[in-house]
Amino acid sequence: MKTVACIVQEGFAPFEFGVACEAFGLDRTAEGIEKFDFRIVTPDPGAVTSNLGFSINVTDDLTFAETADLVVVSTQPKSAWGRIDTRVAAILRSAVERDAWILSVCSGAFVLAAAGILDGRRATTHWLYADTMARMYPRVEVDPDVLYVQDGRIITSAGTAAGLDACLHLLRQELGAEAANRIARRMVVAPQREGGQAQFILKPMPDQTGLSLAPVADWAVANLHRDLTVEQLANRAHMSPRTFARRFKADYGTTPAAWLARQRIIQAQRMLEETEWGLDRIADECGFGSAAVLRQNFSRVLGTTPTAYRARFACPPETKKAREVVAA
């Protein structure tokens, strides 16, 4: 992925638009991450007014989006739902035909649906709008309970911060786990939230009562080589297994077992990128037990094999050295 076009239209939301700019528009070459050719485009260049009343001046029309490797669609105001500029629709349909990436943030999914490219696909949007989208577009399988959905090369996300999760999910596939983690650290956000996590987490703010589960989660990540159980984690949190599981789901939006499984995959990705260890050793370090189990889980979650992943994302020696310097 080299080129990224972000389509903005009248009534766009500044934060969701900023998500795309932050994820794909910044120059991170000093951190060993290749810069994207990122451009903001619109059907009719000139002043484009946001939903907060201020405008941005967009100089590029949709021409760049015709060949972009990724087309990002930001939010759309409710007044525009069900309608689409025919030029935008043509861009999106063409992107599907040429197998480019397409990513929408929040109500941007309504634009994709209006273009017809979500028909027969699974998608999501902000939970407040999910029922409306399902009624307006019955051929779309709308999932209101997730942060983001990838169906083929189309990614739709829920509102606000979920857009960052979706962008990092795509960057992880294109750049590898370590590069995506570096981008997340610069954003000061969690490096990986599963798309299947609930949009509505009961306690979005950190627990201030002294019962935060963060120390337990940190310990688990540092001890993935162990055969971790919910009972062990609950003991460290000084809770019963049932209470711990309930609290964990409320805080993290997923079960302890599902969270652990994903952490093991993430660690395996980083080891495949950063080391020359064999699969047996990586499997042991990540808690999979054997190379066969590692391969099975890796393929199920990422749709590729550990060997193929390493061939694509393994860091050359000079890149590893540059990353160590930046980290220091």
Would you say residue 196 lies in a domain? Answer: no
Instruction: For residues 97 and 157, state if they share a domain.
Output: yes
Would you say residue 194 lies in a domain? Answer: no
Instruction: For residues 10 and 129, state if they share a domain.
Output: yes
Q: What is the CATH number of the domain that holds 163?
A: 3.40.50.880
- The pLDDT score that the predictor gives to residue 326 is 43
The domain total for the chain is 3
- Tell me the C-alpha distance between 111 and 271, whole Å: 39
The SS3 assignment for 49 reads strand
| Listed residues 135, 152, 187: the one ending a domain | 187
Instruction: For residues 28 and 123, state if they share a domain.
Output: yes
DSSP 100-137: -EEEE-TTHHHHHHHHTTTTTSEE---TTTHHHHHHH-
Would you say residue 153 lies in a domain? Answer: yes
- Tell me the C-alpha distance between 9 and 76, whole Å: 7
Instruction: For residues 76 and 114, state if they share a domain.
Output: yes
Instruction: For residues 156 and 171, state if they share a domain.
Output: yes
Instruction: For residues 157 and 59, state if they share a domain.
Output: yes
- The pLDDT score that the predictor gives to residue 233 is 95
Instruction: For residues 72 and 129, state if they share a domain.
Output: yes
Instruction: For residues 144 and 39, state if they share a domain.
Output: yes
Instruction: For residues 243 and 277, state if they share a domain.
Output: no
Nearest residue to 94 via CA among 83, 102, 85: 102
- The pLDDT score that the predictor gives to residue 190 is 63
CA 30 to chain centre: 23
Instruction: For residues 165 and 28, state if they share a domain.
Output: yes
- Per-residue model confidence as pLDDT tens for the chain (328 residues): 999 999 999 999 999 999 999 999 999 998 889 899 999 999 999 999 999 999 999 999 999 999 999 999 988 899 999 999 999 999 999 999 999 999 999 999 999 999 999 999 999 999 899 999 999 999 999 998 888 999 999 999 988 788 998 999 999 889 988 888 888 888 777 655 655 544 444 333 344 444 678 899 999 999 999 999 999 999 999 999 999 999 998 888 789 998 999 899 989 998 998 899 999 999 999 999 999 999 999 988 888 899 998 988 887 655 455 444 444 4
- The pLDDT score that the predictor gives to residue 208 is 42
Would you say residue 320 lies in a domain? Answer: yes
Would you say residue 109 lies in a domain? Answer: yes
Q: What is the CATH number of the domain that holds 281?
A: 1.10.10.60
- Tell me the C-alpha distance between 72 and 12, whole Å: 13
Domain hosting 301: range is 258-327
- The pLDDT score that the predictor gives to residue 281 is 96
Would you say residue 201 lies in a domain? Answer: no
- The pLDDT score that the predictor gives to residue 182 is 84
Question: How many other CB atoms are there within 10 angstroms of residue 159's CB atom?
Answer: 21
Would you say residue 155 lies in a domain? Answer: yes
